């Protein structure tokens, strides 16, 4: 605490990102980065943008990347908003659509709804913007029960697949939530950060759209916003690029917040990278399929060693072992040079979230896990 902080900052409980080690070389399975590099065309486009044009501000409307996204995703450019990573897009969306006055009623006070176990940035944004919220417990099987979100509220947000469980709902299960909330002009945000890893991977010729994406329903549900990132499927976590797709009024709401904050959150390199990434989708579909194949190979091997694995539709798996605490597993893996993610809280304290790496990285992880829990070597 510092006397220099105003009451808003004193009350904040900021998000803690996964460790980005500087000193030692780890097998990094802790922040859901893609282990495969971006394709050469994307790197070349970013390098080309790193020229004398940097003298000039970037296009505040982000038109070229938005057009490239719109074409891949089968929507209009006016239905696309681009930002500095999907975290920023989410922060703007919380500011634009939730909290006091949600649904166009200045006296509205109903809470925003999201799961008790979900992306831990959501309560942080709610804290930042003073948004009352209510968490809805996941079922015993760690799934989201969509019916729980068909109640009067100040809006709804959850990821699909959910994080950190990795469990996905079908698009058809979520639509009734959008329908219900739409009757009161409440906004439903579905964070599709990991959507491309559901089913058998992205649909050919349709960007990074996974099998359960809600993007095809954008025209039908003007109160529904989907949020997307280039950090996972597009191997561009270091570029900071994300976007949202929704009706024009929702996109305009996001622009109003952005233009009250920073007119140029997407720099020239990121704009070039986004546009080029949209041209590289066959490569990305292939790497997503590789990651899905690795995930499906690893999960049964872990179960053979006594781990419980939740059914993942994402580029990570959420696992626990009956004889070790999450903290013990985390520390023992770290000692062996493997970083994973662990949250020491409530129902998930004994779980680890393990990002899917290359096959070689996952073999090393399996060996370490086996040493820690059984002292044997994987065949
Ligand atoms: N949503 C979810 C569910 C995530 O797990 C993440 C990654 N931490 C993000 C959004 C943010 O991704 P980025 O800001 O890299 O686009």
Task: State whether 57 and 29 are in the same domain.
Answer: no
For CA atoms 350, 355, 359, 364, the dihedral sign is negative
Looking at residues 227-245, what average pLDDT do you find?
Answer: 98
State the closest ligand 1 atom to the C-alpha of 118, by its place in the atom list counted from 1. 3
State in Å: Cα 63 to ligand 1 middle: 23
Give how many domains the chain has, as a whole number: 2
The DSSP line for 159-228 is ESS-TTT-----HHHHHHHHHHHHTTT--EEEE-TTGGGSTTSSPTTSTT--TT-SGGGTTT-TTEEEEE
Asked if pLDDT for residue 85 goes beyond 90, the answer is yes
Task: State whether 147 and 74 are in the same domain.
Answer: yes
pLDDT digits (tens, 9 = 90+) for 188-212: 999 999 999 998 888 777 778 898 9
Pairing outcome for strands 338-339 and 27-28: parallel
pLDDT digits (tens, 9 = 90+) for 297-326: 999 999 999 999 999 999 999 999 999 999
Task: State whether 216 and 289 are in the same domain.
Answer: no
E strand or H helix at 349, and its extent? none
Ligand 1 touching residue 237 (CB < 6 A): yes
Pairing outcome for strands 112-115 and 133-136: parallel
State the closest ligand 1 atom to the C-alpha of 194, by its place in the atom list counted from 1. 3
Read off the CATH number of the domain in which 102 is found. 3.40.640.10
State in Å: Cα 4 to ligand 1 middle: 31
Output the residue whose Cα is nearest ligand 1's atom 12.
86
- 378 belongs to a structural domain: no
The domain boundary residue, chosen from 280, 299, 330: 280
State in Å: Cα 237 to ligand 1 middle: 9
Looking at residues 252-266, what average pLDDT do you find?
Answer: 98
Distance linking the first and last C-alpha atoms of the chain: 52
Asked if pLDDT for residue 378 goes beyond 70, the answer is no
- 379 belongs to a structural domain: no
State the closest ligand 1 atom to the C-alpha of 86, by its place in the atom list counted from 1. 16
State the closest ligand 1 atom to the C-alpha of 119, by its place in the atom list counted from 1. 3
Task: State whether 92 and 22 are in the same domain.
Answer: no
- 2 belongs to a structural domain: no
What pLDDT score does 44 carry?
98
Ligand 1 touching residue 193 (CB < 6 A): yes
Asked if pLDDT for residue 246 goes beyond 50, the answer is yes
Alpha carbons 192 and 215: distance in angstroms, whole number: 10
Task: State whether 65 and 106 are in the same domain.
Answer: yes
State in Å: Cα 119 to ligand 1 middle: 8
66: domain range?
40-280
Task: State whether 191 and 338 are in the same domain.
Answer: no
The domain boundary residue, chosen from 259, 280, 301: 280
Task: State whether 84 and 203 are in the same domain.
Answer: yes
Task: State whether 55 and 23 are in the same domain.
Answer: no
Asked if pLDDT for residue 377 goes beyond 70, the answer is no
Q: Considering only 10-14, 28-32, 106-110, which range has the smallest mean pLDDT?
A: 106-110
Looking at residues 102-129, what average pLDDT do you find?
Answer: 94
Task: State whether 326 and 191 are in the same domain.
Answer: no
Read off the CATH number of the domain in which 318 is found. 3.90.1150.10
| Res. 375 pLDDT band, cuts 50 70 90 | low
Both tokens assigned to 132? 């009352």
Task: State whether 140 and 194 are in the same domain.
Answer: yes
Task: State whether 302 and 155 are in the same domain.
Answer: no
| Res. 376 pLDDT band, cuts 50 70 90 | low
């Amino acid at each position: 605490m510092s006397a220099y902080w105003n009451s808003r900052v004193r009350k904040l409980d900021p998000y803690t990102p996964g460790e980005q080690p500087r000193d030692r070389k780890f097998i990094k399975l802790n922040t859901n980065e893609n282990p495969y590099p971006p394709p050469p065309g994307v790197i070349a486009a970013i390098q080309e943008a790193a020229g004398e044009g940097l003298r000039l501000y970037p296009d505040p409307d982000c038109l070229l990347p938005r057009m490239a996204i719109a074409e891949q995703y089968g929507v209009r450019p006016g239905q696309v908003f681009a930002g500095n990573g999907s975290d920023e897009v989410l922060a703007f969306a919380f500011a634009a659509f939730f909290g006091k006055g949600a649904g166009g009623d200045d006296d509205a006070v109903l809470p925003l709804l999201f799961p008790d176990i979900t992306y831990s940035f959501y309560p942080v944004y709610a804290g930042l913007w003073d948004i009352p919220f209510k968490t809805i417990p996941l079922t015993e099987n760690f799934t989201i029960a969509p019916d729980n979100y068909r109640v009067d509220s100040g809006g709804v947000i959850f990821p699909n697949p959910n994080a950190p469980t990795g469990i996905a709902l079908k698009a058809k299960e979520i639509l009734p939530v959008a329908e219900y909330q739409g009757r009161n002009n409440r906004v439903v945000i579905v964070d599709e950060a990991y959507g491309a890893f559901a089913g058998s991977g992205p649909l050919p010729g349709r960007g990074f759209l996974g099998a359960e994406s809600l993007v095809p329903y954008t025209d039908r549900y003007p109160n529904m916003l989907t949020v997307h990132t280039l950090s996972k499927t597009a191997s561009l976590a270091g570029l900071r690029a994300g976007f949202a797709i929704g009706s024009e009024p929702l996109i305009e709401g996001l622009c109003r917040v952005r233009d009250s904050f920073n007119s140029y959150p997407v720099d020239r390199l990121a704009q070039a990278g986004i546009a080029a990434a949209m041209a590289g989708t066959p490569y990305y579909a292939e790497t997503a399929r590789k990651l899905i194949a690795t995930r499906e190979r690893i999960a049964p091997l872990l179960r053979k060693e006594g781990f419980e694995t939740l059914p993942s539709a994402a580029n990570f798996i959420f696992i626990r072992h009956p004889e070790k605490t999450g903290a013990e597993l985390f520390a023992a893996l770290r000692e062996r040079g493997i970083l994973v993610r662990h949250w020491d809280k409530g129902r998930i304290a004994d779980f680890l979230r393990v990002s899917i790496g290359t096959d070689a990285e996952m073999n090393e992880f399996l060996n370490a896990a086996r040493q820690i829990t059984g002292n044997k070597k994987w065949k």
